[in-house]
Amino acid sequence: MKRRIKLLTSRSNGWGEARRKEALNQFIRGWVNYFKLADMKSLMQKVDLWYRRRLRMCIWKRWKPIRTRLRNLRKLGISNSKALKLASTRKGYWKISGTPTLNV
């Protein structure tokens, strides 16, 4: 499942956000419906945390320039000082997607 989600959230497939969202929605819905009789609550919770972090990473990659990151973080209601600190960081996409500030 993770391998397929990585393919669907890849930036190199040339899809827009609407198509990516639709494809992910179809895949996850189908996967959950197929395995719904199994006892998978804890596994699905772990996959859900990973999936959300992966989507945050994709969004962070799309907001490439610092000005764009700063503007969008302010729109989301993050304080100016935290937004500036997060927008100008040199850390990698995956590391930043796990920060508490970006989780908001």
Question: What is the pTM for the complete model shown?
Answer: 0.80
Give 92's Cβ-side CA count (13 Å radius).
Answer: 3
Q: Is 40 helix (H, G, I), strand (E, B) or coil?
A: coil
CA nearest neighbour of 77 among 103, 46, 49: 103
Q: Per-residue pLDDT tens, the chain, 104 aa: give them.
A: 889 988 888 877 778 888 888 999 999 888 888 877 777 778 888 888 998 999 899 889 889 899 999 999 999 999 999 999 999 999 999 999 999 988 87
pLDDT at 47: 86
